[in-house]
A = this chain, B = another copy of it.
Amino acid sequence: MVFVTKFDGTRQPFDRNKVIGTCIKKGVNRAAAETIADMVESKVYDGIPTKKILQMIFAALEPHRPAIKHQTNLREAISLLRSKPDFENFVQLLLKEHGYKVDPNRIVRGKCIEHEIDAIAGKNGETILVEIKHHFDHHTRTHLDVSRQVRATFEDLVEGFGLGLNSVNFSKALIVCNTKFSEHARQYAKCRGIACIGWNSPPEHGLEQMIEEKNLHPITLIKGLDAKTEEKLGDNGVILVRQLIEHDLDKLSRRTGIKKDKLAILMKKAREIISG
């Protein structure tokens, strides 16, 4: 059996089905995915880093999906968004596209103190306190401290509502982050009824799946987008690949101060990514 080495140094058996899954997620058909998996399987060696496998897959996908060469890894792309306001805005958009009514960040009075809330989301009669957490290092975990803070805030707000200090009848709390959760954080949150959305968590319904399902890729997915340009776009509310192509080149260049030729290249790449 061939073992692969994950980013955190742990090893696990090579799984050809994961290769197929990645390919299909990128939009190629089953037959092509199988062919790519055959190629990868023939080349893996004991101890190969998963990052190297991902590079192989991306290279093999290019003939099928030419726009892939313009894309960085989604997980890395999200980590490159500014924490505030871009990742917060990104999560708010994500929730809206998935049928939530979303109020952006505001201050709500609890029993003991006023709390800064990242977002208030509503769906199916629930009013949800949303805590948004962004890590630049996407390989880290979101830990127990966040779950405990959310629990204490939720308690304070609910008691504040009972005392007539606020008019937001929170029924639930939700943490959205760009990493996985530590086991301790997950266990505590579950026990306290706090929902958790993070990278691949919950499995099959995590952040990645919410993005792919509605094509809500962040602009940082575009290869060659530097931090300064990302900020200028973010300051003008452009945080999704698809938002970039909704704009008129001249107007957006004037508004953001990004040079026209630079912006034209980014928009061309964005169009290719979208049309896939």
Contact = CB atoms under 8 A, between A and B. Distances in A.
Interface of A: 111-113, 144-145, 147-149, 151-153, 155-156, 184, 187-188, 190-192
Contact of A187 (B112, B149, B192): B112
Contacts of A191: 111-113
A149 B154 CA distance: 12
Of A113, A156, A187, A188, most buried by chain B (CB within 10 Å of CB) is: A113
A149 B150 CA distance: 9
Most buried by B among A111, A153, A184, A188: A188
A45 B155 CA distance: 50
A155 B149 CA distance: 12
A157 to B, nearest CB: 12
Given A145-B149, A148-B148, A148-B152, 7 more contacts: A112-B190, A112-B192, A113-B187, A113-B188, A147-B152, A148-B149, A149-B149
A173 to B, nearest CB: 12
Nearest to A144: B113
Contacts of A187: 112-113
